[in-house]
Amino acid sequence: MKIFIGADHRGVELKEQLAIYLKEEGFDIELSKLINNETDDYPDFAFDIARKVIKNENSLGILICGNGIGIGIAANKVKGIRCARVINSDDAYKAKNHNGVNMISFGGISFEEAKNIVDIFISTKTAFEERHLKRIQKIIDYENEEEHEY
């Protein structure tokens, strides 16, 4: 499985730690090639990773910034991305299993916490129950300007 990881300057260390960990676990990891510095902007990394996830079917994306909020909002502006800001492994499970996310974002957590979140995110099966699929499809339809009365 291909996993793309990006972070602004506040998430560089955690990004590097996760990349090493995931490579050791056998995943194909690609980091954003954008350069980090003290004045970098989180939307640049969000857009970069989100575009890569869209272009690579069945891939996942991980974004890290100060708190995971802004970078996740930016990622969700890319058509086809469903990114959830998660703060624990339960969030990661529900985001993927209930909401079919293809990206997660977080920040301000330890490597151990991040590892647990990422492990759950990767291992959880995407939404498959009809009630969840129906809700995800509504989001996709709206994104594609195919609004329906439900």
> pLDDT tens across 53-87, in order?
999 999 999 999 999 999 999 999 999 999 999 99
What dotted CATH number matches 2-143?
A: 3.40.1400.10
- pLDDT tens track for 97-147: 999 999 999 998 999 999 999 999 999 988 787 888 888 888 888 888 887
Residues with Cβ within 8 Å of 70's Cβ and at least 6 positions away in sequence, in order, are 42, 43
Task: Give pTM, 2 decimals.
Answer: 0.93
Boundaries of every domain in the chain: 2-143
Q: Which residues are catalytic?
A: 65, 98
Closest residue by Cα to residue 85 from 70, 100, 97, 69: 69
- pLDDT tens track for 12-69: 999 999 999 999 999 999 999 999 999 999 999 999 999 999 999 999 999 999 999 9
In the structure encoding, which two tokens stand for residue 75, read together? 């990622």
Distance CA(63)–CA(79), nearest Å, equals 17
